[in-house]
Structure 1
Amino acid sequence: MGADEQSRDAAGSRPRPTGWDPAGYLRYAGERARPFVDLINRVGAETPSAVVDLGCGEGTMTATLAERWPGAGVTGVDSSPEMLAAAATSAVPGRVEFVLGDVRDWAPDAPVDVVVSNAVLHWVPGHAELLRQWAGWLRPGGWLAVQVPGNFGAPTHVLLAELCRSPRWASRLAEAAPRPDTVLDPAGYFDVLAAGGLSPDVWETTYLHVLTGTDPVLAWVRSTVLRPVLALLPDDDAAQFTAEYAAALRTAYPARDDGTTLLPFRRVFAVASRPS
């Protein structure tokens, strides 16, 4: 799924102070699903028997893996009970299962054929080592597919970081500010996967999302990168912080004459196979 952009302990990382909101995250389900589809389309596995989706979120996209590979057993792993409760509707006995687990700790009982991690690793500091571990799970001929948001230099994140570090908020929020080095550049992922004995294919894409409604960019980030920041504030302060951030976003992403707002969103993809 790609609990995403920036977001989830649906992402599979350890639980944060507040739970994930599947409904809020799915407000832009179509836009968030497209990178998952683009990622999986580059996986060359033909008849895998064991497929794992790490950080599966609410499970909708995980279930599509069983459609792509009808002979595979698919396991979705996530650390958010809220997301897994939503994922239960996508479970298929004997075909698609969802389990509670942290992507940093969970491991399969036996080698697998395909490992997928969509919009998760930006929640895991130092995740290069984790990628090497995942590469080690693959059978000969197995595939590892990863997508991460690459927009940490975009106004959504730069403005949020600046506000977190401003005099009004720094004492409580400076450590929660998004970091520009959260993910690797494409060459960095290529090197990590190649060092793990895989043959990598790495690329990046900038999607141009067309959003509508009031403060649509704020609505996009509210369920992702903004969520862990607001979790550190009481309600009144969270409302004030959100108002300041919303004003900055309106300037950075102005509404167009037709009422839409354009949100460029860069993502980095890496697909790699283990020689058979």
Structure 2
Amino acid sequence: MKDWDAGQYLKFEDERTRPSIDLLNRVPLKEPRNCVDLGCGPGNSTELIVRRFPSARVLGLDNSPDMLSKARGRLPDLTFEEADVATWQPNERFDLIFANAMLQWLPNHSPLLERLVSLLTDGGCLAVQMPNNLTEPSHRLMRQVAQEGPWADKLASAAKAREEIGSFVDYYAWLTRAGCSVDIWQTTYVHPLENAAAIAEWFKSTGLKPYLDPLTDEQQEEYLRRYRAEVAKAYPAQSDGKVLLRFPRLFFIAQRR
């Protein structure tokens, strides 16, 4: 995919940061010394870690130069590195590995989680949040518009860009097998947005990217026009004119024994 657009992502910063707050609040560590934020984006989640654990060393990793530029501007005293988490092999262990809304982009979660757990100190925590919304209308309609438009062949593989995440049972089994105690839960957030077009704006920086990136500018405009029209049918306006975006997210905290 093309580089991520930090400005587009931050249009909904408050809503996107809420899951990071909820995840971090459940981390049972008191004074971790070495923390890493995987897929740190523009630094909004990294900033939360710094506030919660001000004496810890906090490293931010992302594969997007634009996101890293925003993160460095936001937190100039921290170290941010460009890295691909799929192949990342640090020469150190961490008390906290924090991954908010990024592991869903990676395949093969069983070996991935085993590798990440191996990078924890004894008693360290892997804290993860992943969107679990591929069956929601927002994402079903992405696939529908891709399949029904003149770009169908070009977008045939777009739906595979993001992994379908596992079940509660899967993650519990993988993480206990890796030697962890596991706290796992799911929360469905309900975001009141101004209108159906705002739903498209929300996902332009995330879920829609695999569908939009291969298209020409003209095709992108037409795809978004069709997508917004379908979204307006699926998300009716409430009495105040706003629409309600349901957003299920799966969380877990795995603590290495």
Report the counterpart of residue 87 of structure 1 in structure 2: 71
TM-fit CA distance, 1:188: 1.4
Report the counterpart of residue 122 of structure 1 in structure 2: 104
Query: Is residue 203 of structure 1 aligned with residue 217 of structure 2?
Result: no
TM-fit CA distance, 1:167: 5.9
1: CA distance between counterparts of 2:161 and 2:89? 28
2: CA distance between counterparts of 1:49 and 1:79? 24
2: CA distance between counterparts of 1:20 and 1:217? 18
2: CA distance between counterparts of 1:233 and 1:198? 43
Distance change (3 Å), C-alpha of 1:111 and 1:179:
closer
1: CA distance between counterparts of 2:52 and 2:134? 32
2: CA distance between counterparts of 1:86 and 1:97? 13
1: CA distance between counterparts of 2:134 and 2:195? 24
1: CA distance between counterparts of 2:250 and 2:177? 19
What amino acid does structure 2 have at the position aligned with 1:264?
A: R
TM-fit CA distance, 1:180: 9.0
Runs of 5+ in structure 1 lacking a partner? Answer: 1-15
Runs of 5+ in structure 2 lacking a partner? Answer: none
Report the counterpart of residue 233 of structure 2 in structure 1: 251
Render the CA deviation track for 1:222-252: whole Å, top value 9, x for unaligned: 1111122111011111111111111100000
Report the counterpart of residue 144 of structure 1 in structure 2: 126
Taking structure 2 as the reference length, the TM-score comes to 0.95
Report the counterpart of residue 101 of structure 1 in structure 2: 83
2: CA distance between counterparts of 1:38 and 1:187? 22
1: CA distance between counterparts of 2:133 and 2:235? 14
2: CA distance between counterparts of 1:108 and 1:167? 44
2: CA distance between counterparts of 1:225 and 1:237? 17
Distance change (3 Å), C-alpha of 1:108 and 1:181:
closer
What amino acid does structure 2 have at the position aligned with 1:210?
A: P
What amino acid does structure 1 have at the position aligned with 2:61?
A: V
Any idea what SS the aligned residue of 1:263 has? Answer: strand
C-alpha RMSD over aligned residues: 1.6
2: CA distance between counterparts of 1:74 and 1:92? 12
Any idea what SS the aligned residue of 2:35 has? Answer: strand
Contact kept, 8 Å, 1:161 with 1:179, in 2: the verdict is no
Contact kept, 8 Å, 2:195 with 2:237, in 1: the verdict is no
2: CA distance between counterparts of 1:181 and 1:115? 20
For 1:206-245, what aligned pairs fall within 5 Å after superposition?
Answer: 206-213=188-195, 215-245=197-227
Number of corresponding residues: 257
Report the counterpart of residue 176 of structure 2 in structure 1: 194
TM-fit CA distance, 1:168: 2.8
What amino acid does structure 1 have at the position aligned with 2:241?
A: G
Render the CA deviation track for 1:191-247: whole Å, top value 9, x for unaligned: 111111000110000001011156111111111111221110111111111111111
TM-fit CA distance, 1:184: 1.0
Identity of aligned residues (%): 39
